[in-house]
Amino acid sequence: MVGLEMDPMPLAGQFCATPEESQKAISMPLSWVLCEQCGLVQALQDVDDRMLFRKYNYSSSTVGGLVRHFENYAILLSNTYDEKSLRFLEIGCNDGVLIRRLPEEWVKCGVDPSDVARQSHTADDQQVYQLLSEPFTEALVAQQQWQGKWDVISGSNCLAHISDIRDVFEGVALALRDGGEFWVEVHDLEALLSGFQWDTIYHEHKAEWSLDSLTYCLGILGFERVHYERIPMHGGAIRCRFKKTGKKQQLPREWKRYVHSIAALSEVYQRRHDHPTAVKFAKSAEKGEKIVAYGAAGRANVYLNQLPALPFDWIVDESPLRVGKYIPCVGTPIVSQKVLMEKQPEYCLITAWNYRDDIVSKNAQFRGEWFTAFKFMEGD
């Protein structure tokens, strides 16, 4: 069933080299559908991965909050497994922010087709892990002769970006030894819905997972959930640990309980122009005041393009991959932190609101007032 339809918008991960390129960016429709079989929420329009990720402007190690998260995650994994010769594979390793922090004695491999993963691995003189620059699939497992090879497989924030998720899960089942474990971290659908986080909905997020849908989809392939916890990463996420048992489980279908929440989210999205923050910045623009934002990630691309009548003068970002570029379609220039300190605007909207505490702390000399448009979890 279709649960939400958004105005056409460009890819959230697209950042343009010039204002002219920004004006030529293509906007595409985006609809949310809810699967009545497993309860997974998916983007109806499946954009080809070669278009989505050929220039992936996201390097996890440039985000302080993510670095702390993966430092702690690496400690958790290291303390969980004592084996000196443990074989560990990470799906979607990005720039190695997790895998390079794991014990030296472990055999480690990352699988990630992005240019960020390849460039980071090439620049690393120590080469502490093997990298395969291609998508993880069941065919790749067979090609590499990985059947039953790996003790632990993990995937953090990557399951949202995969079209054929069954193929990936079947590949995990094939690659793990009997009794091996699969750790996943996914954005939490329930946190998204309760916080009305419509700025998280974009083409790159092909799926939004709940604990129910994740457990169902892995259960029918012979995995048992042995632990889970909700964590503050990305405005609300779930970390789950599954064991390969080979015993397939047909679990109850829980999709109906999300119908009302998705309808409520759709209503909030339709009224986005009336949100107090949007009204405040619209009035400031009418007075000729500068309106600016902080955090040029996917959420910012969504927010600025879904509220194009708000003429943001510029947006700050800390990543060198984005500074000097432009938000697609609306053409907002991306500038460094230095500009915020020099210009000292009266107001600044934190579009990367899930890192609000970090941003405010890093910019203690900013004399203006901070605003956010969404709820966020403390400690993220």
Tens of pLDDT, residues 193-207: 999 999 999 999 999
Position of tokens 């474990």? 181
* Domain annotation for the chain: domains and CATH numbers: 35-261 (3.40.50.150), 278-371 (3.40.50.720)
Q: Average pLDDT over the chain, rounded to whole?
A: 92
Residues 6+ apart with CB under 8 A from 101: 70, 71, 74
Residue-wise pLDDT for 219-276, tens only, equals: 999 999 999 999 988 889 999 999 999 999 877 677 788 899 999 999 999 999 999 9
Which tokens belong to 344?
Answer: 């000292």
Q: Please tell me the pTM assigned to this model.
A: 0.89
Radius of gyration of the chain (CA): 21
Tokens at 228, concatenated:
């889970």
pLDDT confidence band for 375 (50 / 70 / 90): low
Q: Is 324 left (phi over 0), alpha (psi -120 to 50) or beta?
A: left
pLDDT tens for 152-182 read 999 999 999 999 999 999 999 999 999 999 9
In 295-371, DSSP assigns E strands to: 314-316, 334-335, 347-350, 369-371
